[in-house]
Amino acid sequence: MKIAWFTPFSQHSAIGRCSALIVEQLRRFAEVDIWHPKSDSLRASPVRTMRIDRPEDIGPESLNRYDLLIYNFGNHIPFHKDIFEISQQCPGIAILHDFVYHHFFAEYWLSCRKNPEAYVLTMERRYGDAGRREAESSVSRKQPPVWETGRVVEYPLFEDIIGKMYGVVVHSEFFAKKVRDAYPGPVAKLWLPYDIPEKPDSRSRADLAIPETAILLVTIGHLNPNKLVHSVIEVLGRNQDTLDDVFYVAVGPCDPVYHDRLQSLIRKFGLEGKVRLTGYATDEHLSAFVALSDICINLRHPSFEGASASVIEEMLHGKPTIVTDGGFCAELPGDCIVKIKPGRESEELPGTLRRLIDDAPERERLGANARVYARDHFQAERYVRELLPFIRQVREGIPLLQLADRIAGELNRMGATTEMDIVHTMSRHLHELFSPRQ
């Protein structure tokens, strides 16, 4: 079997990091080529790589030598625009790494395509009048754009990625349910594979300018407002009398506007000597901070992710990690992670931190449980073992999906509507074809 695996493959992409792990295992069972957008910092590849220079030049004639196309989707336009455009012409399996794709499509239609009406129509098609109103208000700036608010989770737009796909893979049960509600094809939930360096980073606290005696708190990843770094800083600032023994480092790239907001809070509370924003860090540098940490803080509200690579990385390091009790993290066992109710960070975080700071054995217990759980669940070998039967299922169903698409196209050409008997009759017959025989 020949597979085209579409993914960003940059050193700066966590999805590229996952893909390298998966393909390393998948190539034992199939001939795999990695197709990737242009990048000046490619990862080392275990298989042949194919660069996408112009997505419009890649169509069925370029890909017909493969038995299956598998597309990895995230939100970052430079990494995923080309992959999205190819996928809409040449369907395959979609692997969704995020739950909310609204940010991708807002940038795609408004900035890349310069077509705000297409964005408005997309929102109307998916979410009716309410979607159209949100889109129009966002485009006209009559109110803060929906993608800058918590309401964006009501308009995730993942539906616009998977509509033409032959199958969908997600990495949490909560997201699997949402996809199944919106998509009639096969859906698989697999645990996201991730890794940490085999050899621990040798840098010490002194090397990273971390006070030796402080309790080190660490947040890693892209520092967006929904990661609630501002809430952590406010908690530290308002509770300096009870949390005076901590040092907090937020490791990762940050939007300039949000960075200025965080720096303003640091100055407001006089935390210049206790809080640090590092900006972008290499995988090795990031892992060094996690390895040296006492407690990891990984809050999300609202949650845009289908799963969290950063939480998995912290668990693999054996660190006690504080998360928001929602989405992917709600599915993790309570004996290896500490959960805070969504929207209750300012009330619950001070006491949670104090309890963990004062109870070193509890930190050790949580970290040890987390490491065991992560090593068992978030591994590439397991992922591929469960992906292969799903691939077989999808390939067997492709002729039926193609038939359904052709019939739908003919009915649309005839002007048929959902209320007509012919539509119900064809739907019944197709359901009988798709349903497994008893």
Q: Is residue 266 located within the same domain as residue 374? A: yes
Q: Is residue 89 located within the same domain as residue 224? A: no
Which range of residues forms the domain containing residue 223?
Answer: 215-378
Q: Is residue 319 located within the same domain as residue 224? A: yes
| Bridge partners of residue 249, in order along the sequence | 218, 276
Residue 228's region, left for phi above 0, alpha for psi from -120 to 50, else beta, is left
The pLDDT of residue 85: 97
Mean pLDDT of 287-303: 94
Asked if residue 422 is part of any domain, the answer here is: no
The pLDDT of residue 389: 97
Q: Is residue 87 located within the same domain as residue 19? A: yes
The pLDDT of residue 136: 97
Query: Which residues have CB under 8 Å from 319's CB, separation 6+?
Result: 290, 293, 295, 296, 367, 370
Q: Is residue 235 located within the same domain as residue 300? A: yes
| pLDDT at 181 > cutoff 50 | yes
CA distance 366 to 337: 6
CATH of the domain at 172: 3.40.50.11930
Chain mean position to CA 350 = 28
* Percentage of residues of the chain with pLDDT beyond 90: 82
Q: Is residue 337 located within the same domain as residue 237? A: yes
Our count of domains for the chain comes to 2
CA distance 363 to 14: 27
The pLDDT of residue 418: 62
Of 370, 385, 400, the last residue of a domain is 385
| pLDDT at 200 > cutoff 80 | no
Asked if residue 122 is part of any domain, the answer here is: no
For every residue of 257-325, DSSP letters joined together read HHHHHHHHHHHHTT-TTTEEEEES--HHHHHHHHHH-SEEEE--SS--BSS-HHHHHHHHTT--EEEES
| pLDDT at 78 > cutoff 60 | yes
Phi and psi, residue 298, nearest 5°: -140, 70
pLDDT tens digits, one per residue of 42-61 = 999 989 999 999 999 998 99
CA distance 156 to 127: 10
Asked if residue 8 is part of any domain, the answer here is: yes
Of 338, 368, 385, the last residue of a domain is 385
Q: Is residue 235 located within the same domain as residue 163? A: no
| pLDDT at 231 > cutoff 90 | yes
Asked if residue 20 is part of any domain, the answer here is: yes
Mean pLDDT of 189-202: 88
CA distance 379 to 341: 28
CA distance 244 to 242: 6
pLDDT interval class at 438 (50, 70, 90) = very low
pLDDT tens digits, one per residue of 367-418 = 999 999 999 999 999 999 999 999 999 999 887 777 777 777 777 788 777 6
CATH of the domain at 351: 3.40.50.2000
The pLDDT of residue 236: 97
Q: Is residue 163 located within the same domain as residue 278? A: no
